[in-house]
Amino acid sequence: MTKRTKAHSAMPGFVKPQLATLKSKAPSGDRWLHEIKYDGYRIQLHVDHGEAKAFTRTGLNWIKRFCVIAGAFDIPGQAIIDGEVVVVHEGRTNFSELQADLARGDQDRLLYYAFDLLWLDGTDLRKMPQVERKRILKELFDTHGLEAPVLYSEHLVGEGQQFFEHAAKLKYEGIISKRADAPYRSERTEAWLKVKSVHKGKFPVVGFIKDPTGVAALYLGKQEGKELVYMGKVGTGWSRTVSSQIRKQLDTVITPKSTLTQPIKKPKATWVEPKFFADVEYRDITSEGLLRASSFKGLSSK
C-alpha cells in the first residue's frame, strides 16, 4: 500500500455525505471522472478492526440490514467507505426490488458499490483529490482480495455526455460526474454533478382525484393487447390553471365504473372513459409495473 502520514485524530463517527448537483448535461474534459448512478441506498460503511457500522444518508446505523455486506468488507484495520447498496434486476439496479428484499430481511441479492474512501488506518483522506481517493480505494480492494457482494465502482475519464447517452440507452438511472482534483466536502457541491435519464410516455387517463379547483392526481393506464392495465398515478407537473383545465376536460368523460381490465380499489377516484392521454416523464417502471417518479407534461385527446 502507498505510504501515508498517520493522523493523530481518532476515527470519526458518521460523516455527512457529499451530494451531487443536478445538471441537464454532463461536463466534458479530462478533469472529470464519470460513474454510473446507482439506484439504491447510499450507505457509509465504517470498519474498525472487525467491528462495523453501516450509516444511511441521514446517519442511521443499519448494520443489521447490511451485515452480510459489512462482513464481506474483510480488512484488518480501519476504513470509512462511501457507496451504494443495490439489487441488480434484469441487468440494472432496481430500487423497488431492493425495497422488497429489505422488507423481507433478505440479503442474498444485495451488492455494495464502493465509490469513495474517506478514512484509512488513521489517515483522513477527505482533503485528498477525488482521483487519489479512488486509487487508494482500488488498492484496498486489490490488496485484500475483496469480492462480491462488495464491488469497486469503476469510472471513465472524459467524454461525459457520450457516457451518459450510452447509460441512458441501457436504461440506467443516469451518471455522476466528479472533479478529479476535488476534496470530499460534506455538502451539496458542484464538484459532484448528476445527470439523470428521463423516460417519456403517453398514457390514457382512467381516473382522477378531485381537489377544490381541479385535480390532485391522475390515474393512468396502458393498453396491452386487448387489456387496459393500471400504470399508477401522477400528481405533479401542473399549475392551478392547468389543473382546472384538466378537470373541465375529464368531467366530460366521467363513468360510474373503472374501465381497467382488472379493477383496482381507489376510494377517492372519479373514473373516466380513457379518451384523454397524459404526456408523462418518469424515471423508471417498478417491479409491480407502475411508473416511478412521474411528472405530468400535458394532456391530449389522442
CATH 3.30.470.30 fits domain 19-196:
yes
Give the mean pLDDT of the chain.
92
Query: pLDDT at position 3, please?
Result: 45
How confident is the model over 124-130, as a mean pLDDT?
98
Q: From CA 239, how far away is CA 297, in angstroms rounded?
A: 11
Residues 6 or more apart in contact with residue 12 via CB below 8 angstroms: 80, 119, 124
Q: Which top CATH class is 199-300?
A: mainly beta
In angstroms, what CA-CA distances link 167 with 172, 214, 223? Answer: 5, 38, 28
Q: Would you list the domain boundaries of the chain?
A: 19-196, 199-300
Residue 4 in this model has a pLDDT that exceeds 50? no
pLDDT digits (tens, 9 = 90+) for 64-122: 999 999 999 999 999 999 999 999 987 888 887 888 889 889 999 999 999 999 999 99
> Among candidates 235, 217, 223, which has minimal Cα distance to 282?
235
Within this chain, domains 19-196 and 199-300 share the same CATH topology: no
Cell numbers standing for residue 103: 422488507
The percentage of the chain sitting over the pLDDT mark of 90, rounded to a whole number, equals 77
Residue 8 pLDDT level (bands cut at 50, 70, 90):
very low
Residue 128 in this model has a pLDDT that exceeds 90? yes
Q: From CA 236, how far away is CA 211, in angstroms rounded?
A: 13
At residue 70's C-alpha, the angle toward residues 122 and 111, to 5°, is 125
Cell numbers standing for residue 82: 462511501
pLDDT digits (tens, 9 = 90+) for 247-290: 999 999 999 999 999 989 999 999 999 999 999 988 878 878 89
pLDDT digits (tens, 9 = 90+) for 146-189: 999 999 999 999 889 999 999 988 878 899 999 999 999 999 99
Contact present, 149 and 68 (Cβ < 8 Å):
yes
Q: Is 98 exposed, middle or buried (0-12, 13-18, 19+ CB in 10 A)?
A: buried
How confident is the model over 124-134, as a mean pLDDT?
98
Kindly report the number of other CB atoms within 10 A of residue 95's CB atom.
Answer: 21
Residue 9 pLDDT level (bands cut at 50, 70, 90):
low
Give the chain as a 3 state SS string.
CCCCCCCCCCCCCCCCCCEEEECCCCCCCCCEEEEECCCCEEEEEEEECCEEEEECCCCCECCCCCHHHHHHCCCCCEEEEEEEEEEEECCEECHHHHHHHHHHCCCCCEEEEEEEEEEECCEECCCCCHHHHHHHHHHHHHHHCCCCCEEECCCEECCHHHHHHHHHHCCCCEEEEEECCCCCCCCEEEEEEEEECCEEEEEEEEEEEECCCCEEEEEEEEEECCEEEEEEEECCCCCHHHHHHHHHHHHHHECCCCCCCCCCCCCCEEEECCCCEEEEEECEECCCCCEECCEEEEEECC
pLDDT digits (tens, 9 = 90+) for 186-205: 999 999 999 988 888 899 99
Query: pLDDT at position 110, please?
Result: 98
